[in-house]
Amino acid sequence: MTYKVSLVSLGCPKNLVDAEVMLGHLPAERFQIVTDEAKADIIIVNTCSFIQDAKEESIQTILEVADYKQTGNCRLLAVTGCLPQRYRDELAAELPEVDLFMGTGDAPRIVELLDKALGDGERVEAVGLPDFLYDHATPRVKSSPHYSAYVKIAEGCANHCSYCVIPRLRGTLRSRAVPSVVEEVRRLVSQGVKEINLIAQDVTAFGAEREDGARLVDLLRELVAIEDLQWLRLLYAYPDGIDDELLDLIAGEEKICKYIDIPLQHIDDAILAHMNRRIDEQGTRALIERIRQRVPGVTLRTSFIVGFPGETREQFDKLLAYVREGHFERVGVFRYSREEGTPAAALPDQVPERTKKSRYSKLMKAQARVSFRRNRELVGRIEPVLIEGYSEETDLLLQGRSVRQAPDVDGMVYITDGQANVGDIVPLRITDSSEYDLIGEIVDAE
* Integer Cα distance of 122 and 125 in angstroms: 10
- The residue count for the chain: 446
- Identity of the residue numbered 152: K
- Is there a contact between 422 and 398 (Cβ–Cβ < 8 Å)? no
* Half-sphere exposure in the Cβ direction for 171 (13 Å, CA): 15
Distance (Å) of CA 121 to CA 71, 98, 117, 130:
20, 12, 5, 26
* Integer Cα distance of 84 and 59 in angstroms: 11
Annotated binding site: 12, 48, 82, 157, 161, 164
For the residues of 122-142, what is the DSSP string, one character each? S-EEE---S-----TTS----
For the residues of 155-169, what is the DSSP string, one character each? ES-----TT--HHHH
* Integer Cα distance of 77 and 57 in angstroms: 17
* Half-sphere exposure in the Cβ direction for 289 (13 Å, CA): 7
Residues facing residue 441 across a β-bridge: 417, 429
Annotated binding site for [4Fe-4S] cluster: 12, 48, 82, 157, 161, 164
Alpha helices (runs of H) in 194-327, residue ranges in sequence order? 216-223, 244-252, 269-274, 281-294, 313-324
CA end-to-end span of the chain, whole Å? 56
DSSP, collapsed to helix, strand or coil, labels residue 61 as helix
Provide the 8-state DSSP code for 201: S
Q: Quick one: 323 exposed, middle or buried, by C-beta within 10 A (0-12, 13-18, 19+)?
A: buried
- Identity of the residue numbered 428: L
* Integer Cα distance of 190 and 174 in angstroms: 27
* Integer Cα distance of 16 and 34 in angstroms: 16
